Amino acid sequence: MALTTQPRGGVARLLSLEEALVERAEDLAVFLVYDRPQRERERPGLARTYFAERCVSDEQLELMIDAFREVNAYVELFPGEQAFIEALADGRLRGLPQALKVAYNGIGWGIASDGFKAGRKSLIPLLADSYGLTCANSDAYACAFTLHKFHSFVVLDAIGVPIPKTWHYRPPAGWIGKRPPDGAKVIAKSTYEAWSVGVTQDSIFTVDEASERRLESLAADIGQALTVQEFIPGTEVCVPVISCPQRLVAPPMEAVITRAPDDPDAVMTIDDNLTSGGVSHRPFRGPERLLRRLEKQALEVFDALELQGLTRIDFRIDDQERPWVFDVAISPGVGRKSSAFLSLAELGLDHPRFMRAVVAASLGSEGLLGA
């Protein structure tokens, strides 16, 4: 599938950076910082947000490690931020001989009232900057701001990006600002989480006098504030963007919910995401004008939220072929079944090369590869 309006030069730039990384692989150290399921025992609130179930699998981490080891780069996995901090503080990582040192920010969320605090995703970029490392993908500010769905969508609305009407419900204060009008069809979702945490078929409802009770119950279940959006039926499409620093909009991918592949009213739930084969992705086929709009709006979001490296903009396309931004994945999944990989695979990257290209893009953005 061809890109919509993207120059082939953007693809060539990304591929040349990956090749430059391979040429300097023996001078590269990659530090993968990922939560592991056993951390759920630290804080009871993490179970509410399926923290352990959402941790990247050992098999996927091995694939990531192999992508760098096969070109003779140094790779080390850190089970969470504490082990990474200790290795930085005692000087061990700084003492490694490799000149190119990259931290991969795989830290997750779990923002329940008795889980982790909001803004946690910002920790690894700040640590990397403090110790003179490159952090793959976005910086601390973009991580903190983008991962508050209500705050970031207020900005997108202000600059004219088409988004569903959006409200915020934060117990015990209640509505922050206006309440959606009675009769509006909405969907309630977690404010900080990914993977459709808190979303069930009951999350879609018509606003009435019982709405606040419904939202209080959901907020208590997942331990966090809620973002409420106008419900847009239609096709869900994921559009990865990668910057090196030239921005490349990769081919859009359609998300298909296995239990309801042709239902425009279906929404992706946490159960769909946790079920093997519950969600799949395929290239999105649409008219040229729609593909151009997706590309334009993905870039507008990328620029407005000051994103970097690899990210993913998620759209719902309604029955009039209008795309509406409904989510931003600042740290999209990178497994072999992920929409981000499958999209860039359309450009000829196999999975190991895709993984190296993500790291190479961040190094290239800082002018460290000379490609």
What does the pLDDT profile of the chain (371 residues) look like in tens digits?
344 444 456 899 999 999 999 999 999 999 999 999 999 999 989 999 999 999 999 999 999 999 999 999 999 999 999 999 999 999 999 999 999 999 999 998 999 989 999 999 999 999 999 999 999 999 999 999 999 999 999 999 999 999 999 999 999 999 999 999 999 999 999 999 999 999 998 999 999 999 999 999 999 999 999 999 999 999 999 999 999 999 999 999 999 999 999 999 999 999 999 999 999 999 999 999 999 999 999 999 999 999 999 999 999 999 999 999 999 999 999 999 999 999 999 999 999 999 999 999 999 999 999 76
Cα separation, 272 vs 200, in Å, equals 10
1 in any annotated domain: no
Chosen domain end from 211, 230, 249: 230
Nearest Cα to 60, choosing from 34, 40, 28? 34
b/e map 165-186, b = 16+ CB within 10 Å: bbbbbbeeeeeeeeebeeebeb
Sheet containing 134-135: give its strands across.
74-79, 28-34, 100-106, 134-135
Cα separation, 265 vs 205, in Å, equals 12
Query: Same structural domain for residues 290 and 153?
Result: yes
Q: Are 140 and 98 in contact (CB under 8 A)?
A: no
pTM of the predicted model, to two decimals? 0.95
Cα separation, 105 vs 309, in Å, equals 12
Query: Same structural domain for residues 174 and 198?
Result: yes
Contacts of 150 (CB under 8 A, 6+ apart): 166, 167, 168, 176, 191, 225, 227
In this predicted structure, what is the pLDDT of residue 50? Answer: 95
Number of domains in the chain: 2
Cα separation, 228 vs 206, in Å, equals 11
Sequence length of the chain is 371
In this predicted structure, what is the pLDDT of residue 371? Answer: 62
Query: Same structural domain for residues 175 and 114?
Result: no
Chosen domain end from 208, 230, 252: 230
Instruction: State the helix-helix crossing angle for 123-130 and 81-89, rounded to 10 degrees.
Output: 10
Estimate to the nearest angstrom the gap between the alpha carbon of 333 and the chain centroid. Answer: 7
3 in any annotated domain: no
Query: Same structural domain for residues 149 and 202?
Result: no
Estimate to the nearest angstrom the gap between the alpha carbon of 82 and the chain centroid. Answer: 22
Chosen domain end from 230, 248, 273: 230
96 in any annotated domain: yes
* Burial (Cβ within 10 Å: 0-12, 13-18, ≥19) of residue 5: exposed
Q: Are 369 and 361 in contact (CB under 8 A)?
A: no
Query: Same structural domain for residues 118 and 224?
Result: no
336 in any annotated domain: yes
369 in any annotated domain: no
Range of the domain at 99: 8-159+232-363
In this predicted structure, what is the pLDDT of residue 148? Answer: 97
Q: Are 30 and 75 in contact (CB under 8 A)?
A: yes
Q: Are 301 and 328 in contact (CB under 8 A)?
A: yes
